[in-house]
Amino acid sequence: MSDSPLDWMALANKKAKGKRPEFFDEPEDDRIYSILIALVGEVSVLRTRLDTVERLLDEKGTISRDDIENFAPDREAGFERGALIREYILRVMRGPIQAMESLQEQEPPIEDVSRELKEI
């Protein structure tokens, strides 16, 4: 086994072999969406870390980095943190979720409603 240390940060990012499908009409949109979703994930990580800090402070009044690294939520805390993440995801995914809702019922453009209201 080699003694030279791995550049694990760079290696973690390795691309999987196989052409990546393009999902959007413009390839740049695929790149930007990847950045966006990664950022969405990292904000969730920060929020979870803050939740850890809050819980530890509630419990002990003072904390160390080790306390944070070794924190493991009990069943109730695990559920509450999961619910927090879910609520956060629903909030940031509001656009697609509402797009889905609007598929359920075809709505007329607001211009049409505006014209209608003028007449009634």
Partner 1 sequence: MSKNNQAPVDVAPPYQAVTRHGVSPKPSHDEAARFDFLANFNKVLSGTLGPGNKLAYDKRVLPTFKKEHGREPKDRFEIRHAMNKDPFHQIWSASKRNSMEMRQQNGRAMVLRQLDELDAKARALNESVPDTLELNPDVQVPRYQAAVDIHCMPGSYHGEERPGDVSAGANYDCGIFATTAGGLGALSDGGGAALADWIRKERPGWTPRRILDIGCTIGHNIVPVALAFPETEIIAIDTAAPSLRYGHARAQSLGAKNIKFIQMNAEDLSRYEYGHFDWVQTTMFLHETSGKALPRIIEEGYRVLAEGGLMLHLEQPQYSDEMPLYEQFIRDWDAFNNNEPFWSAMHALDLKGIMQKSGFAKEELFVTGVRAVVDRSIFPEAPTGEAEDHGRAAVWNAYGAWKGGKPA
The residue type of 13 is: N
- Residues 52 and 54: their CA atoms lie apart, in Å, by 5
Q: What tokens appear for 95 in the block?
A: 């656009």
Which of 27, 63, 75, 114 is close enough to bind partner 1 by CB under 8 A? 75
- Backbone φ, ψ for residue 101 (5° rounding): -60, -40
Decide if 30 contacts 23 (C-beta within 8 A). Answer: yes
Helix %, strand %, coil % of the chain (to 5)? 70, 0, 30
DSSP letter, residue 103: H
Which of 83, 112, 115, 116 is close enough to bind partner 1 by CB under 8 A? 83
Binding status of residue 111 toward partner 1 by CB under 8 A: no
Q: Site residues for partner 1, window 17-56 (CB under 8 A)?
A: 17-18, 20-21, 23-24, 30, 33-34, 37-38, 41, 44-45, 48-49, 52
Binding status of residue 78 toward partner 1 by CB under 8 A: yes
Give the binding site for partner 1 (CB under 8 A). Answer: 1-2, 6, 8-9, 11-18, 20-21, 23-24, 30, 33-34, 37-38, 41, 44-45, 48-49, 52, 68-69, 71-73, 75-76, 78-79, 81-83, 85-86, 89-90, 93, 95-97, 99-100, 103-104, 106
